[in-house]
Structure 1
């Protein structure tokens, strides 16, 4: 059996990408709010899967700039639907947390509008649209310019005692 050196088969890290926010957006420190639970999507800020930076606008709505790297590939040259869903799960759930609702996601519905090319920086915008009892509804969309790649509705359930 031959041994493989650590560098054999290792992919090179993709170059830095610009995840700057729009004018008026303020950087949002998501990990300080929810802790290490953001590892799945936001855990490797310089890796080849996702690169994410969160912001709040003047109305305190949560936005994200997200880069889908080569490790998110599904259809050739495009992001996998599961990768898009994971991003929407994190961003919409985090929007509820940022609005003061400690939650878990109870139901997430994603409508895929068009395929998302790899290595593209896109924006997720989200809004808490209602809160009744323990149920919090969040809507969002993933887009770049006029192209909408996905839209989502997230029913969140507040955590008891938090």
Structure 2
């Protein structure tokens, strides 16, 4: 007891294999495209190297590959949720799913020619995602109203189970701000 206040510490522990579902974190997942998907050109400022979400292609948190689906113009991709994405025991953290959909929605807008940043994200978590899952993402532009770009996205299992759905409002940047960001990007590439 200190200053009349009883202090206590609660320690939560569970077996190590409960955190990772016994998965071997060193096995590289297959992030190959589905039929009809085309590799996304990630040259220039769209390059996600260094990105919190997709910047570590061999990392233990997330591994992401983006594609285009020419049939409907959607940005699609595959994401592996590794042991570094741990939330509830054996499952991916909801924040990791939100971060993936945030990046994907923003990227889809940029690929379509809208230079945007996120203003609002809404997430609906439908099912817990086991660690080690390779999820399929799909993101589309819902509508454009002036500078506002409304987006929608989802993460699904191979059998179609929805893990999370998102909606986002993204705001188009001024040409001056886009140039400032390009200069920052170029400076980070030369250092």
User: Normalising by the residue count of structure 1, what TM-score does the alignment of the two structures yield?
Assistant: 0.87
Match of 1:151 in 2: 165
Q: Which is higher, the Rg of structure 1 or of structure 2? A: 2
Given that 1:14 and 1:47 are in contact with CA atoms closer than 8 Å, whether structure 2 keeps it comes out as: no
Match of 1:97 in 2: 110
Higher strand share: 1
Question: Would the alpha carbon gap of residues 117 and 42 (structure 1) be closer, same or farther in structure 2, given more than 3 Å must change?
Answer: same
From 136, 141, 151, the equivalent of 1:128 is 141
Shift of 1:30: 3.3
Using the TM superposition, name which of 18-27 and 29-38 deviates more. Answer: 29-38
Structure 1: state its 5+ residue gaps: 1-11
User: Normalising by the residue count of structure 2, what TM-score does the alignment of the two structures yield?
Assistant: 0.75
Question: Would the alpha carbon gap of residues 64 and 36 (structure 1) be closer, same or farther in structure 2, given more than 3 Å must change?
Answer: closer
Match of 1:114 in 2: 127
Q: Which structure 1 residue ranges, 4+ long, deviate > 4 Å from structure 2?
A: none
RMSD: 1.6
Q: How does 1:41-52 map to 2 (within 5 A)?
A: 41-52=53-64
Q: Deviations over 1:44-67 (max 9, x none)?
A: 101101000000011321001000
Q: Deviations over 1:120-140 (max 9, x none)?
A: 100110110100110000101
Structure 2: state its 5+ residue gaps: 1-23, 179-191
Shift of 1:42: 0.6
Q: How far apart, CA to CA, are the structure 1 residues paired with 2:49 and 2:29? A: 24
Given that 2:87 and 2:93 are in contact with CA atoms closer than 8 Å, whether structure 1 keeps it comes out as: yes
Match of 1:3 in 2: none
Q: How far apart, CA to CA, are the structure 1 residues paired with 2:82 and 2:141? A: 28
Shift of 1:31: 5.5
Using the TM superposition, name which of 25-34 and 100-109 deviates more. Answer: 25-34
Q: Deviations over 1:14-44 (max 9, x none)?
A: 2211001111100113353424576101111
Aligned length: 151
